[in-house]
Structure 1
Amino acid sequence: MARPGQRQGRTRRTAPRNERRGRGANDVRSVIARAIREVETAAQRGRVTPAVRTKFQVVALLLREERERVRADETGSAASRADQLKRLDGFATTLARTAVRDSGLLSLLSEDAVVSEAARSMKREMLTDLGIEPEPEEEPPAQPAVFSAAPERRVVPQSVISRQLANPFLAPDFSATPPPQARPRRLVGWELLDPLLNSFERAGGGVPACMPLPAPSSLQAAGGRQLMPHQAQVVAAAAAGHRTFLLADEPGLGKTAQALLAAEAANAYPLLVVVPSVVKTNWAREAGIWVPHRAATVVHGNGETVDGFADIVVVNYEVLDRHIGWFGDFGFRGMVVDEAHFIKNKTSQRSQHVLELSDRIRSRFPRPLLMALTGTPLINDIDDFLAIWQFLGWIDESKPLGDLMNALEETGLTPADPGFYPAARGCVIDQGIVRRRKVDVAADIPARRIADLPVELDDKAGRSIRAAEQELARRLVKRYESALAARESADVVEGVDADLVRKVARWELKDATASATGENVFSMMRRIGQAKAGPAADYAAQLARSAGKVVFFAKHVDVMDAAEESFSRQGIGFSSIRGDQTPSARQKQIDAFVTDPGVAVAVCSLTAAGVGLNLQVASNIVLAELSWTDAEQTQAIDRSHRIGQTEPVTAWRIIAAQTLDSRIAELIDSKAGLAARALDGSDEEMSSSADVQHEALVALLTDALAAAS
């Protein structure tokens, strides 16, 4: 107590941290949010001074302590704690993204980072200003590293390290344990894997191998997109709690969309998607269409461009071995394996990596979403099922597991009983086998549709094509600038002169048509076709294995040659239909494709085989090169889509991503249907190939001028 007449000094009342509630906690979060914004702004401006680094470390320490306090606080409701943790996780994400901009900041997020005396002092001042008594400082306990130093890890992308160093903010929660496995009773001692395989050979009886599926709750997806009923059934099953699927629908029935939306229904994010390289880009594109609010990242090579904070990580089988280490500790809640027959050989490295990853996911997250997608679950024999079943967690190396074992026990039968095989087959199917054919769901899908498949060209070809495209654009710009300079001043317009752009494009097209020298729109498209030959042939081979006969169309002979070489290497029988054949030789090739079960692909010239042929034995078409008109494209598709065709026809149009190919495809689509409207009496002028070529050059020049302005 101060004496009478003595000036009373200022006092501060502080509360221990473990007694902090309500406004105090909110104040701490406000300070954290404000400090993060200040640091983020400084990093964006490239002004990361020592004072900014000190503040960054302090806010990281406060955020870590605040998260621990919230998790330990049992006075509030679980919902309240979840909301608080969600907000703190948002802070942590911003903090980690900021750290990526500066290696000095990134190192401060490490658990073993040295806390400077300046940071300790600033932290004490912040807490004291909030009326919170700082705790006595002591060495923090060692935290387990989120990413193991497993010897198999080859690379860890820098963006993933940023996510790692944001711990414990974004650390995957591995505290949950999987449910206990079933204990065999009646079937103890029985060898069960061979009987389960035999049940699919002996007990089919013509019954479809498809689990019971619920009625769709909705046919609407994000952005108002419409699902087909058979697609919505799988999504509804995931929403109802089913978590393992062998989705064996035929190609063209939208397995990619079903998998992405099933993951959304099951909240199975982050999601790992393992795919063949030819469809890697398409998966990212489909994710942007069906789940646009989920960030998707594609792993190329060593993963330099990976977004470590993405919800969907897409990787191809060929580079899986480089990333197996950090994949296993990333905290995935779901995993999709596309073209799952690729893992049928369990001794292969890629199969072992896939099985290892599914084991890790199941051990760290109860009931994850696991989906194996393939139109061909069996390639050689019934044993091909084993690797897929093991990936899904239905079996291990020697026996059924979990729900499957329980279901087999509940039948009350053993392999010695006559009714065991049909009952066992039903038990396996109910675990999640879904198989629909085009003919089964014909009412759901259009009788004829075009599906674009974007592919990334390999590094060397891609760089060469993009360089040639840039050179063509530079030539167009130079021509435009020369024409602009030659004009009278009164003729000059503000900004880009659209009329002059169209004239320059017309001059360029005329010169390209008259001369075969130099890079032009025709040579560009031919080079792109050559680069696409390999991926297009690979995809046609996949279709042939999973859906039967395929028609492969190309414009240029060298593209056909490259495709046929690829089919020969892969052991795919093919016939070749070209313009230089005699009528008898041509008919012999057609007959071989139509009648010989060993001939799976018809390699056809777009101009020579695009009319006058009946190839309705196939319902899948691969367009390896683009036509210049929609009419030419339609003529090719109609070789299969014609009277007598009993299945819906799908044309898979291979598009080289980030090249002139994509622009041409858009132009063809924008002009599609003009012929039909003209036949119906429309006054609209019909489109020609020159229109598309001209518009492509107009778009290329317009983009180049906009980029230069």
Structure 2
Amino acid sequence: MEDRFSVHGGGTVGRDERETVARGARLFEAAQAVVVDHGRAAEAVRAALKPLHDAEVKRELDAIPVARLQDVTEGRLRLGSVEKSGLRSVGEVLEAGPYRLRQIPGVGQRTVDQMLAAARRLSEAAHETVAVHIDVERPEPRTTALVMALHVLAEAGPDARRAVDKATVLARRLDPLLADARLALGRIRMLLAGQEKKARAWAAVAGIRSLVDEAERAGLPGLFAQASVDLLRGPATDIAAWVDFELRSAEYYSLLAEISGRQPDVAAAEGFLPDEIAERVRTQHLDDTHRRVSLRGYQAFGARFALAQRKVILGDEMGLGKTIQAIAVLAHLAAVGQSHFMVVCPASVLVNWTREIEARSALRVTVLHGPDRHLAFADWKARGGVGVTTFDALRGFPAPDRGEVALLVVDEAHSVKNPKAKRSQAVAGWAERCERALLMTGTPMENRVVEFHHLVRMLDGDLADSLGEGDARAGSVGFRKAVAPVYLRRNQEDVLTELPSLQHTDQWEELSASDAEAYREAVAAGNFMAMRRAAYMAPEKSAKLDRLREIVQEAGENGQKTVVFSYFKDVLGVVREALAPGESASVPLFGPFTGSVPAGRRQRIVDEFAAVPGPAVLLAQIQAAGIGLNLQAASVVVICEPQIKPTIEHQAVARAHRMGQVRPVRVYRLLATGGVDERLVRLLETKTRLFDAYARRSAVAEASPDAIDVSDTELARRIVEEEQARLGLADERLTAAE
């Protein structure tokens, strides 16, 4: 150190040192500025949110009867005289206050104190649980103010959040160094300082130089400057903010949850994993360098789970952003030096996956599909990036060397639960050779719990062997605990407080004479599938079709888009004829969207449907459109007939009622009385309860998985026989055609 001071004239500083400290000071000011600018934007959101939240809390408290105060105090209060005085709700009790309450005959000070204490406890609970829903159908000044405040942060995007995080860390490191380096800026002070202070000053200058050089290499000065500009730029108009909210509502609600601190229950967001696994996941680093989208807390946890556990099943309910979580994992692995990744998905969502990766990350995407797929595969192997292919195409590609592919993502993984299927074997081979595997499915089990074991076996054979049948029979809690090392599932109701309401309505219709005749003929022939669609075979007198027209007409009058689902192509043809725009009707009609429509065309149909500025109708085969596509432009869903598997209906509805939906969703299921529909509805209710017990969280599941181990063919045969007996056709030939 003596030599160094002699170079600088006994410890004085030169131009380089002063410039270094000046650069550090400028960077510190820029970092502080972006943090302040973000804080100001966030405070504007909180200020706009408060009156809306207070109003929601008041509505909640006004709806709670005074009698609930007895429950809170375990029955100690006597409230008869309070109710007689005209105070009917907890909200009115709080508004009345202690003076007015004390004026009620028979109410003493102790009762007033207890009553208000209980009311405040309910008020505190309401403040914690009540969520603000932004109604796009009825915008008013207060919600417009909130949307405009959120628009500033949404437009700034994830780069602003990244800038704030990096600025906070950088400012914390620079602050003490700049304080110590100030001594080196004064010639006299430096000459008079002791050796220890001089040494600290020179060390601070060196530290500042290192931090500034590192920040400039990472492009932080530009990041901070751009973020501040974006955060100070308001929306052009309130209309622009509302339009952007409709397009990107999921991002707006994510920001709202972050700023308000109203995050979902931690245990629910973490899928109720055992503590030791949850803690390991929490400490997993998640690099966002190559990611262009912000994550919600539960989504970040899901990505960390996949990284920490290496080979997993992400079984989040439909609409929670499994694709975004997968992209976050891909982006992290790319940031830490990995080069090759593979996504396998149904052909119907190939285009969607490609779009999402390109839009949400900086990763290179190669589509491995179509006649040139082998050339594309060779290019992907040579250059790296994310290969996106289909289950069938994957079978034609050579399995990778061990460690060559950093991550295999399998979308709609329930499609490969049958270990005897070639597509399942191909996926299993790749999963074994890849360093990490992420199987994604909102429906990990449809008919048999045992099929779930086959997915687990692709990831961890020892764990699959250890499960056995006993874990399932022990009930869902034991089952979920046993598979926790590889399985994470969260439900919408637990983590998406802002999701609009979902209302299911079963529309029961009496068969017309023509419907009944078609149904009887189908039963006599033993044709199960004909029985299911008999209600549409005489369109001019079809009771179901009449009701469908009414629903679509009502939705159109309200400016709403409708998706009509059926299992059968010919039913969709009948519906199209019935809904086809004529001279008196002008609602655009799209589809039918069936399994035979090419993958690229499917996405275009959905895009065209969403782009229509007013009402529109999309006709879709339920097993084709119920997978992977986003239909949140629609707020009315019609299911033409009940399905054999409850998961098919769940998937279809979740295409509309998902993160990003801004309107309440109404689901109508068209049912005919007295026949196959009634039997299928009872069957669906039983299957749904069992699905909830094992695939969802539940503490009271004792049913055996054997109860859902019934094939579709056997079910069809059973229903046909029962219907033939009911209609007096038992002597007819009994065949259950599929």
* TM more than 0.5: no
If the length of structure 2 is used for normalisation, what is the TM-score?
A: 0.33
TM-score between both structures, scaled by the size of structure 1: 0.34
Greater helix share, 1 or 2? 2
